[in-house]
Structure 1
């Protein structure tokens, strides 16, 4: 199973998201081809209701603790409640880091 699939499964189980995107952005960084080290996660979950951004990120970090300690170098998180997601115009693009 790929790292992206593992991230998807763990977040699905932990947060029951209404919307979940896991994007491997490793190709934007100076890493070997086909790496799975840099990810962007867009997650919409009722579990984030009433929580500040830091608490939301902690929930994601807890769900992915093993991956973050074993090979995932960077994780960009965009965490929304369903109401925020409906009002959101677009998810911010990640910066191009390859240099």
Structure 2
């Protein structure tokens, strides 16, 4: 699945999200996503990841084999820098 399409699906489903998806193994199956959104504010890590999985819906069972997720609010992401 095209990485840009995955980013678009996430960004369209989660308010004000910025998603960066990569293929660190270059195998097209084991992907990594960094998602930053104010919509994650007040959500647990599990809830944040569920929001991303919901955005990708059926693609998680048909097109994406594995997805490593890192999710942050903008403040959390800025604090990492």
Question: What interval of TM-score do these two structures reach, taking the shorter chain for normalisation?
Answer: 0.7 to 0.9
Equivalent of 2:61, from 69, 91, 94? 69
Structure 2 length normalisation: TM-score?
0.88
| Structure 1 residue runs of 4 or more that deviate by more than 4 Å after TM superposition | none
- Cα deviation per residue 1:17-65 (whole Å; 9 max; x = unaligned)? 1x321101242xxxxxxx4211110011011000000000000011112
Structure 1 residue matching 2:4: 3-state secondary structure: helix
Structure 1: gaps of 5 or more residues: 28-34, 90-99
Which structure: greater helix fraction?
Answer: 2
Query: Which structure's CA Rg is the greater one?
Result: 1
Distance 2:46 2:58 in 1: 19
TM-score of the pair, normalised by structure 1: 0.73
CA distance in 1, matches of 2:42, 2:63: 32
Structure 2 residues not aligned, in runs of 5+: none
Secondary structure of the residue aligned to 1:43 is strand
